[in-house]
Amino acid sequence: MSKSKKKVDKKNFHPNILCFCCNWCSYAGADLAGVSRFQYPSTIRILRVMCSGRVDPAFILEAFKDGIDGVIVTGCHIGDCHYLKGNEFARDRFERFKEVLKIFNLDKRFKLEWVSASEGKRFAEVITEFTNKIKNLGPLQAL
């Protein structure tokens, strides 16, 4: 597990990243990345929820507690939420939550992104970028 405190060489570090996708836009964007064969690092594991508004900060804390190296929450662009405003509540919630994460020095390991159903390429880019960032940070040290 990545909780080991040994020095790991960053190049061979294959982080474990959890990615929340909302059913209607970002999950569809991930699907389009697939259909269009846009390649991205195999570091993420997608967890589908109906709306980004469902994502409870507690999930993210749990993930970090378990030793997951990075968490990215994705949803529809503001204004596009299938449930009208779920993503706005998610945004506000995570803005506050970031302050909490800062205390534990985890804020860099967390990201909130909007990806539409037509942005297959962008989905791949967002994931690549986030993976690189987490790789740079190295494995999560035990909390």
Partner 1 sequence: MAKVGAVLVIGGGIAGIQASIDLADSGYKVYLAESTTSIGGVMSQLDKTFPTNDCAICILAPKLVQTGRHENIEILINSSIEKIEGAPGHFKVDLTQRTLRLDQEKCTGCGLCAQQCPIEAIDLFNEKLSNIAAISVKFPQAVPLVFSINKDKCIGCGICKGICKAKAIDYDLQDKLITLDVGAVVLAIGFDEYDPTPLTELGYGKHLNVITSIEFERILSASGPHSGLILRPSDGTIPKKIAFLHCVGSRDRKHRKDYCSSVCCMYTTKEAVIAKEHMNIIEPTIFTMDIRAYGKDFDKYIDRAKDEYGVRYIRRRISSIKEIPDSKDLIVCYETKNGKIIKEIFNLVVLSVGMEPNQKANELAQKLDIQLNEYGFCKTCTFSPVETSRSGIYVCGSFATPKDIPETVIEASAAAGCVNILLSEARNKLVTKKELPEELDVSDQPPRIGVFICHCGINIGGVVDVPNVVEYVKTLPNVVYAEHNLYTCSADTQTNIKEKIKKNNLNRVIVASCTPRTHEPLFQATIREVGLNKYLFEMVNIRDQCSWVHMHEPEKATAKSKDLLRMSVAKASQLIPLQEQEISVINKGLVIGGGVSGMTAALNLASQGYEIFLVEKEDSLGGIAKNIYRTLENDDVQEYLKILIKNIESNQLIHVFKNAQINGISGYIGNFSTNISYGNNGKIIDLEHGIIIVATGAKEYQPKEYHFGKDQRIITQTQFEKDLFTSDKIKGLKSIVMIQCVGSRNDDFPYCSRVCCSEAIKNALKAKEINPNIEIIILYRDIRTYGFKEKYYNFARDKKVIFIRYEEVEPPELKIKNKELKIIVTNPDLGKLEINPDLIVLSTGLVAPIKENEELAKMLKVPLNEDKFFLEAHVKLRPIDFATDGIYLCGCAHSPKDIRESIAQSNGAAAQAVKILSSEKLVTSGLVAVVIEENCIGCGSCVEVCQFNAIELIEKERAFEDFTMPIMKSYVNPALCKGCGTCGAQCPNSTIVIKHFGFEQIHAMISALLIQS
Q: Residues interacting with ligand FES, by CB under 6 A? A: 22, 24-25, 51-53, 75-76, 81-83, 86-87
Nearer to ligand FES by Cβ, of 53 and 120: the residue is 53
The rounded distance, in Å, linking the Cα atoms of 50 and 75 is 10
Q: Beta strands 17-22 and 44-49: pairing type?
A: parallel
CB of 80 to partner 1, least distance (A): 6
Q: Which of 11, 13, 46, 101 binds partner 1 (CB under 8 A)?
A: 46
**100 binds partner 1, rule: CB under 8 A:** no
Convert residues 17-36 into a mask of x (bound to partner 1 by CB under 8 A) and - (unbound): -x----xxx-xx-xxxxxxx
72 phi and psi, to 5 degrees? Answer: -125, 130
Report the amino acid identity of residue 67: G
8 Å CB contact between 20 and 94? no
Using a 10 angstrom Cβ sphere, with 0-12 exposed, 13-18 middle and 19 or more buried, the burial of residue 136 is: exposed
- Give the nearest distance from C-beta 9 to partner 1 in angstroms: 18
Tell me whether residue 33 is exposed, middle or buried, using C-beta atoms within 10 angstroms of its C-beta: 0 to 12, 13 to 18, 19 or more.
buried
Q: How far is CA 12 from the centre of its chain?
A: 21
Closest to ligand FES by CB, 17 vs 76, is 76
Q: Does 103 engage in binding with partner 1 (CB under 8 A)?
A: no
Please report, as ranges, the residues that interact with partner 1 according to CB under 8 A. 1-2, 16, 18, 23-25, 27-28, 30-40, 42, 45-51, 53-59, 62-63, 66-68, 76-77, 79-80, 82-86, 89-90, 93, 116-122, 124
